[in-house]
């Protein structure tokens, strides 16, 4: 009998094995497309990839089959999630690599990580050259990463019992699972139910706008997951204004806390109106859209509606950390794209599919800064921060601030590493901010109309890690680097 606090490696192998087997199943879903479009080469490479993935997962599960998986501790929870995301990125890269569509493995890994972390940064220059089956797999990685493949596993495999809670907390930070239902499996089902619902509705709305089923489904996957992979080289720029507005709407919905969607289904509209985070989220996007709209209207000779649409689309796309593009914003005046760069840090609401710092943290920290002045004047007074009329405990504020600091430290360290790989100042800073925030397109040489193809391979691996850091909200991953984690 092992000591209680010792890390249970077998448990981690077992659960990662289950997830990898799930992944191989999803890989097969791109086969019908390849069959329909007659892509024999893709069919064989997807089959080989799915085979390797299935066998690897099965080996992990069989090797640890006698192990009881019901008592996942906190440490195991965090380890499983990080190991799982790394493994999924690895196996997810296989279809790209084996088919030869992305001949270099570090590129394929970057693309798969960018998918699963819902970043949307691509190393592809000719996206339309990819076969339909591979394009579908590329969008599918987004969709699995968005609400979380682990949460999905919790929803459809009821084998996990109590331990599931630890995994849930590690994969979807910020959602208190008990908010939707006291039982973890039920919560996971509800979240994925809403997620699937949103995806289907968006697909239908896109098809109404004249997009075919394949492209509608792909874009719906990318939008609801706030990912940003498109099936087109010029992202969303070539589509009609109706389609652009539909995508704007669903980017916002994807970046909205999923508990709010649940309240809508329950008819509890009051909770939405009084949700300060959601209000702050809408206000922020509204203010910046207006600013961009006015600035562009004065500086460019374009129609009022198209200028408004461009401003709205770009602001929403960056704030929700989706990263779709309808215009090359690097051609705007410097301060305008600098604002977009700043917005790469904000992120959507907590408990959504968006990345970044998240609205609630920024809201609480701005409020706290204001109160810090009052504390300066009245050192002995206890002045609480209130959100939604509830007092935020000092521990939470402290944690949010520490998160902000860790985010900034990582951002600086990442930028420094990027300059070591020879990137220029703006590209280094942009690439780090856009991958850590799971946005995708950044500024300068990794701007909206460029790709990450020209970056050195070493840098691609670092950025892949940054995407996973961003997706799992930093502390989850950093925890594994701290020596105290492995002490008994």
Which residue ranges make up the site for another protein (CB under 8 A)? 74-75, 78, 334-335, 338-339, 342, 365, 368-370, 372-377, 394-395, 397-399, 401-406, 408-409, 412, 415-416, 419-420, 422-426, 428-429, 443-444, 475-476, 478-479, 482, 484-485
- The distance of closest approach from Cβ of residue 458 to another protein in the complex, given in angstroms and rounded to an integer, is 13
Beta-strand (E) ranges in 177-335? none
From CA 406, how far away is CA 448, in angstroms rounded? 27
Task: Please report the DSSP string for 307-373 in residue order.
Answer: HHHHHHHHHHHHHTT----SS-GGGS-HHHHHHHHHHTTT---TTSS--SS-HHHHHHHHHHHHHHH
Q: Which C-beta is closer to another protein: that of 33 or that of 345?
A: 345
Question: Nearest distance from residue 432's CB to another protein, in Å?
Answer: 11
- Choose between 208 and 416: whose C-beta lies nearer to another protein: 416
The Cα-based distances of 312 to 290, 349, 363, 374 in angstroms read 8, 18, 22, 36
First-residue to last-residue Cα distance in the chain: 14
Q: What residues contact residue 239 under an 8 Å CB cut-off, 6+ apart?
A: 209, 211, 247
Minimum Å distance from CB 187 to another protein? 20
Query: Which residue number, 250 or 341, has a Cβ lying nearer to another protein?
Result: 341
Nearer to another protein, 302 or 408 (CB): 408
Please, what is the minimum distance in Å from the beta carbon of residue 172 to another protein?
15
How far apart, in whole angstroms, are the C-alpha atoms of residue 318 and residue 314?
A: 6
For residue 372, how many other CB atoms are within 10 A of its CB? Answer: 10
Of the pair 47, 371, the CB lying nearest another protein is at 371
Residue among 244 and 289 whose Cβ is closer to another protein? 289
Q: CB 478 → another protein: shortest distance, Å?
A: 6
Nearer to another protein, 273 or 481 (CB): 481
Least distance to another protein from the beta carbon of 19, Å? 21
Judged by beta carbon, residue 200 or residue 409, the one nearer another protein is 409
Q: What is the DSSP letter of 421?
A: T
**Please, are residues 293 and 376 in contact by the beta-carbon 8 Å criterion?**
no
153 token code pair: 């596993």
CA gyration radius, the chain? 22
The minimum distance between CB 420 and another protein, in angstroms, equals 4
Of 79 and 152, nearer to another protein (C-beta) is 79
Q: Which is nearer to another protein, 222 or 476 (CB)?
A: 476
How far apart are the C-alpha atoms of 392 and 414, rounded to whole Å? 31
């Amino acid at each position: 009998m092992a000591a209680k606090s010792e890390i249970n490696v077998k448990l981690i192998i077992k659960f990662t094995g289950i997830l990898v087997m799930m992944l191989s199943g999803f890989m097969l879903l791109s086969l019908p497309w390849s069959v329909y479009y007659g892509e024999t080469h893709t069919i064989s490479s997807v089959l080989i990839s799915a085979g390797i993935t299935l066998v690897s997962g099965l080996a992990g599960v069989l090797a640890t089959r006698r192990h009881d998986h019901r008592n996942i501790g906190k440490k195991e929870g965090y380890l499983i999630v990080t190991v799982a995301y790394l493994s999924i990125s690895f196996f997810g890269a296989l279809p790209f690599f084996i088919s030869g569509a992305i001949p270099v493995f570090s590129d394929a890994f970057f693309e798969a990580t960018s998918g699963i972390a819902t970043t949307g940064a691509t190393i592809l220059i000719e996206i339309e050259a990819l076969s339909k089956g591979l394009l579908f797999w590329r969008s599918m990685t987004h969709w699995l990463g968005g609400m979380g493949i682990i949460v999905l596993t919790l929803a459809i495999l009821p084998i996990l019992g109590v331990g599931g809670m630890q995994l849930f907390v590690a994969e979807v930070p910020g959602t208190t699972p008990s908010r939707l239902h006291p039982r973890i499996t039920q919560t996971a089902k509800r979240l994925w139910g809403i997620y699937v619902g949103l995806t289907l509705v968006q697909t239908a709305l896109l098809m109404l706008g004249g997009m075919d089923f394949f492209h509608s489904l792909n874009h719906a996957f990318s939008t609801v997951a706030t990912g940003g992979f498109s099936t087109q080289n010029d992202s969303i720029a070539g589509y009609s204004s109706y389609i652009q507005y539909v995508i704007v709407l669903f980017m916002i919905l994807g970046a909205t806390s999923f508990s709010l969607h649940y309240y809508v289904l329950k008819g509890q509209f009051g909770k939405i109106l009084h949700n300060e985070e959601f209000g702050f989220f809408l206000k922020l996007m509204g203010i910046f859209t207006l600013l961009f709209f006015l600035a562009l209207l004065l500086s460019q000779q374009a129609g009022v509606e198209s200028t408004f649409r461009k401003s709205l689309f770009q602001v929403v796309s960056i704030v929700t950390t989706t990263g779709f593009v309808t215009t090359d914003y690097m051609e705007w005046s410097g301060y305008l794209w600098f604002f977009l760069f700043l917005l790469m840090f904000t992120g959507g609401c907590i408990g959504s599919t968006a990345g970044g710092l998240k609205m609630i943290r920024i809201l609480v920290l701005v409020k706290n800064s204001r109160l810090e002045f009052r504390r300066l004047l009245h050192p002995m007074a206890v002045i609480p921060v209130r959100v939604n009329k509830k007092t935020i405990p000092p521990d939470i504020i402290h944690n949010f601030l520490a998160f902000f600091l860790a985010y900034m430290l990582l951002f600086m360290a990442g930028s420094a590493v990027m300059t070591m790989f020879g990137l220029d100042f703006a590209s280094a800073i942009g690439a780090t901010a856009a991958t850590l925030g799971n946005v995708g397109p950044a500024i300068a040489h990794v701007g909206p109309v460029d790709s990450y193809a020209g970056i050195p391979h070493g840098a691609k691996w670092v950025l892949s890690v940054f995407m996973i850091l961003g997706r799992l909200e930093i502390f989850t991953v950093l925890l594994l680097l701290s020596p105290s984690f492995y002490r008994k």
